[in-house]
Structure 1
Amino acid sequence: MPCNLAPSSRRRKARGRITLLFALIVLALTVLPTASFAGTDTAGNVLTTDEGSTPSGVEGDLYWAGQSLNLDDTSIGRDIIAAGETLSIRDCTVGGAVRLAARTIDIAKTTIDGSVTVAGQHVVLNADSTASCFYAIGETVALRGSTKSAVLAGDTVTIDGTVDGDVEVWADKLILGKNACITGTVSAHVSQDPERAEGARVGALKIDRTENENTSTVNDTIGGIVAAALSTCLIALLLELVFPRATASAAGMLHQRPTPLWVSGLLGTIAIVPTVLLLIISIAGLSLAGTLMCAVIGIALVSTAFAGCAIARMVGHNQNRYAMAAVGGVAAGVLTGLPLIGDFISGVAFVFTLGYVIQIIWRNAHLKPQQPANTPGLPTA
């Protein structure tokens, strides 16, 4: 995690990533085809969404996506990459790394030659499981197996296994169980003193007491809101300078035809995850998947400023466009900087901007040759 962020800020960002992860998982599971499929390529890699079958052995990598995966007594030659709601791996051997994203993750009695990188709500590396290193983020994270190093982040982190090296923890609560055996240093960034059971062995314990999120100073919150407002205002002014027709068109579209704008934005947001997954599945679609992800990231970066600028232009259509862009940028930045509702406002702005882009692409694709574009105009005074 970035070293220039306060621990409380790191924890807030970690929880935000978990929330976003769950949203993406839900969208993917909702839109993925109900029919299962499975296939093996010439390199021995297996790609499957079939929950009813468990491969007895995979020569290469295992790629899986779906609702519930129960991998039992299986040998995987290289990596496991999986996403779903519940992932259970038991009595397996993995020759490479494990990359998982799910609500519940349980790894038990499994030998993993490479690293384990997981994100979920409840994450457990159970006893009799080994890995070279364990990186986990979740609401509750438990390390009961053995590893050479670990980086753990969550509300409650439990270490009740063996770590032949150092451990770094970001948590509200750290529990060192009676079976904990850590040869290196535990660097704990926690909001309360760790609970250490009798029998827990730790080479060294460094505690960095952090303030609880609920005790964050008002000045920090105000400073974040001001920074968000100024940066969004600057981006809004740049958009108005470089793309004045786009902001005017979005304002007119929002005024005259808001329903197609919002519906296409929502459908496009839902379709992003399964589209990227399906493109990745197809080797020929890897470049398209990369291009799509770059486009989505670009839209996300400017969506708040673009939405604020367009709405401000619609409201103050008779005013100076740069002044309205600045006002809209400041207002959007303030809203996205507010606690609790900031992420929701950012999501709404993304849906709005994506909907506008989809509507423009759709309209241009259906224009007849030499037919002038019918760009929605702003309301007249």
Structure 2
Amino acid sequence: MPRNQFPSTQRRNAWGRIAMLFALIALALTALPVASFAGTDAAGNVLATDGDVNPSGVEGDLYWAGQALNLDDASIDRDIIAAGDTLSIRDCTVGGAVRLAARTIDIAKTTVDGSVTVAGQHVVLNTDSTANCFYAAGETVALRGSTKSAALAGDTVTIDGTVEGDVEVWADKLILGKNARITGTVNAHVSQDPERAEGAQVGALKIDRTENEDTSTVNDTIGGIVAAALSTCFVAILLELVFPRATAGAAGMLHQRPAPLWVSGLLGTVAVVPAVLLLIVSIAGLSLAGALMCGIIGIALVSAAFTGTAIARMVGHNQNRFAMASVGGILAGTLTALPLMGSFISGVAFVFTLGYVIQIIWRNAHLKPQQPTNTPELPTA
């Protein structure tokens, strides 16, 4: 299958997940403390936050995190890596690449020798800005500057600048402005015909019409649900075989003291992204950040099966534990694979599993060495 014939629905879903990931990171940064920190390492890299003075020159990379960045008339020898709520870069020169994640991103009158990769809600490479290539995902994406190639994904994508090469677009609506100058081919995966202003110059325009509604067949949906149910059932049985005390403890905790479990899970979910970012920015905490991310990924992978098993064991505590694990796994896998509500169910399962892990760590940390672990038990018949 040729590259450009990859199913547009899957491509747009992939871009949507990327945009959501970056947006969550950016929104999570608003919870960072207001106290600022800054520093320059031996390689000339600058680490900065919201309260720092706008640097006029950086010999290495610029790492920034906070709520509002207004970088004006600065020279960055290498890369800019930043995340926040509002990012504005004007009248700057960047010798490397630009990587940004925020709700609003505006790059104007800026020269970037490398690539620009950004994700947010409203994104624009503005007039008189140049880059080697421009990759963007957001709700509204606009290219008004100049680049050699571009890949743009969003609800509304506007091209009103110069592209000396090909452009890939995944959008509901594509607008080609009167200042559009594209020497290559625009491969547009759109749900409606592009709007092309008089004066727009395009080498070639290839349109791949997609539909807003889900085009997957009923058989595909049912097949996905069955596969998810069976795979989650297998993981649930494996968890019950290897960690029977954990599933029983989670079931007992859910039955006897559910409030601390859910509160811990919610707080942990909110805090995990800022914690990872703070560890990364601190440089010395990179290994801890990697370990924390691996742990979170592991919890996410087994959360549905673990939650289903725990709930099933709580309900059927007098029944065969492997049978209940199978039932819980099948139900959890089915619910997480359902359209629309599946993501919400997965999120609830993640909060539950993370809450249990936090509660166990908290209790073990506060127990004296000679004290046995006091794990809640299921009610007896």
TM-score when normalising by structure 2: 0.94
1:29 aligns with 2:30: yes
In 1, Cα distance between equivalents of 2:360 and 2:42: 41
Equivalent residue letter for 2:328: G
- Deviation, 1:16, is 4.0
Encode CA deviations 1:119-158: one digit per residue, 9 max, x unaligned: 0011100111111111110111111111111111111111
Aligned pair count?
A: 379
In 2, Cα distance between equivalents of 1:330 and 1:10: 29
Equivalent residue letter for 1:257: R
Q: Show the 5 A alignment for 1:1-381.
A: 6-30=7-31, 32-51=32-51, 53-213=53-213, 217-381=217-381
Contact 2:27 2:102 in 1 (8 A): no
- Deviation, 1:181, is 1.5
- Deviation, 1:295, is 0.8
User: What secondary structure does 1:364 align onto?
Assistant: helix
In 2, Cα distance between equivalents of 1:276 and 1:362: 20
In 1, Cα distance between equivalents of 2:111 and 2:42: 26
User: What secondary structure does 1:213 align onto?
Assistant: coil
In 2, Cα distance between equivalents of 1:198 and 1:298: 53
- Deviation, 1:13, is 4.0
Once the two structures are overlaid, the 10-residue window that deviates more, 122-131 or 203-212, is: 203-212
- Deviation, 1:3, is 8.4
Encode CA deviations 1:37-87: one digit per residue, 9 max, x unaligned: 222222211111134631111111111111111111111111111111111
Equivalent residue letter for 1:242: V
Contact 1:51 1:69 in 2 (8 A): no
Equivalent residue letter for 2:319: Q
In 2, Cα distance between equivalents of 1:49 and 1:171: 34
Query: Percent of aligned pairs with the same residue?
Result: 81
Equivalent residue letter for 2:280: I
Equivalent residue letter for 2:213: E
Once the two structures are overlaid, the 10-residue window that deviates more, 71-80 or 318-327, is: 318-327
Equivalent residue letter for 1:72: D
- Deviation, 1:222, is 3.4
Once the two structures are overlaid, the 10-residue window that deviates more, 271-280 or 122-131, is: 271-280
In 2, Cα distance between equivalents of 1:295 and 1:27: 19
Residue 113 and residue 88 in structure 1: after superposition, are their counterparts in 2 closer, same or farther (change >3 A)? Answer: same
User: What secondary structure does 2:380 align onto?
Assistant: coil
Contact 1:239 1:306 in 2 (8 A): yes
User: What secondary structure does 1:119 align onto?
Assistant: strand
Contact 2:88 2:107 in 1 (8 A): yes
Encode CA deviations 1:59-118: one digit per residue, 9 max, x unaligned: 111111111111111111111111111111111000111000001111011000111010
Please give the root-mean-square deviation of Cα atoms over the aligned residues, in Å: 2.0
User: What secondary structure does 2:34 align onto?
Assistant: coil
In 2, Cα distance between equivalents of 1:189 and 1:167: 11
